[in-house]
Amino acid sequence: MSIHGDKAYNNFMKGYNCAQSVALAFADEMNLTPEQALTMSAGFGGGVGRLREVCGAFSGIVLVLGALYGSPDPSQKTALYTEVQALAARYGEENGRGSIVCRELLGLAKAEGSPVASPRTPEYYKKRPCPELVRLAANILDEYIAAHPLPEKK
């Protein structure tokens, strides 16, 4: 367990979407205000706009990874994409479903077809794997950051 994992979990339980929960947990490391982290990650929830595609928790990993290790230099894309793919494989392996796709993680045959977010009720939290998925995403990021010292900012 990690501090960021607990933060991400608690963020989700406060009503933030999966991507927001992870991004907010790492706002300080990204040199962002909480409001900036929440705003820039808002559309990634529900598997990107509730399309149930790429899991919001994994999108949070990618957002944080890009903020901390990304480069504006186009020649650096391959290096970052390599890390994203490795983290995708790890996230899929550790979440037990072998996937980074929201609907697969939720056990849905297809997306609901609605952009309307589900009300956050006790029943909602009981049936969703999301709180543990955001914790997992943040834990993976913590381990990645520990193994890959942050580059010095200029």
Contact assessment for residue 40 and residue 94, using Cβ atoms and an 8 Å cutoff: no
Spatial neighbors of 49 by CB under 8 A, at least 6 apart, are 43, 115
Global pTM value: 0.95
Which of 19, 16, 13 lies closest to 138 in space, CA to CA?
19
Alpha-carbon gap, residue 13 to 20, rounded angstroms = 11
Give, for all 154 residues of the chain, the pLDDT tens digit.
689 999 999 999 999 999 999 999 999 999 999 999 999 999 999 999 999 999 999 999 999 999 999 999 999 999 999 999 999 999 999 999 999 999 999 999 999 989 999 899 999 998 999 999 999 999 999 999 999 998 776 5
Give residue limits of the domains in the chain: 3-147
Contact assessment for residue 9 and residue 132, using Cβ atoms and an 8 Å cutoff: yes
Alpha-carbon gap, residue 47 to 57, rounded angstroms = 9
